[in-house]
Amino acid sequence: MKKSEEKKMKKESARNSMNSLGVKKKKASLGKRNRQRGNEYERRIAKELNELGFDVVTSRSESKRADDNKVDLIDLSHKLPVSLQLKRVTSTPQYFKIREESTVPNKNFALLWNKQKNVNGRFMSEGEVVILDKEMFYQLIAPYANPI
């Protein structure tokens, strides 16, 4: 018997003995599941923005450089005043750390956070918020201010 065949048999034997001891097989890795949920969230937000009249695509489908630059959605129409980083996590994202890792000007960087909570082993959305620079917030609300 070849050594590679012996190794395979030993691994299979070890797996069978672990299963007979009642050890559950490991499900798909958490990282993979979280990445899939994050990708799904990016596609959903892109769809919502497209329905509002923007021409938005995910950076994963468009540009690895943008994705590496902490920009998850690309506005092909150049109408959005901010570059968006999306997070679908349970704990508060480290906005300033993420922003520092990007070359997007601070004023134009926004983080859309879908807060997750664990309900009986399933993660559910608790709500969504946008975190952005105060200067950009003031710029966005300025058209609604009453002149003095």
How confident is the model over 29-51, as pLDDT tens digits? 778 877 888 889 999 999 999 99
The whole-number pLDDT of residue 147 equals: 72
| Amino acid code (one letter) for 51 | E
Kindly report the CATH number assigned to the domain that includes residue 74.
3.40.1350
Tell me which residue of 120, 124, 129 sits closest to 95, measured CA to CA. Answer: 129
Residue 84 has pLDDT above 70, yes or no: yes
16 occurs within a structural domain: no
Across the range 3-27, mean pLDDT stands at: 60
pTM of the full structure: 0.72
Residue 101 has pLDDT above 60, yes or no: yes
Q: pLDDT digit string (tens) for 104-133?
A: 999 999 999 999 999 998 899 999 999 999
Range of the domain at 114: 28-144
Q: How many domains does the chain have?
A: 1
The whole-number pLDDT of residue 106 equals: 92
- C-alpha 16/C-alpha 53 separation (Å) is 55
For residue 27, what are the CA distances in angstroms to 9, 21, 30, 124, 139?
Answer: 22, 17, 8, 19, 47
- Please, which pLDDT band fits residue 27 given cuts at 50, 70 and 90? low
The whole-number pLDDT of residue 19 equals: 52
83 occurs within a structural domain: yes
Across the range 70-85, mean pLDDT stands at: 92
14 occurs within a structural domain: no
63 occurs within a structural domain: yes
Owner of token pair 């499900």: 27
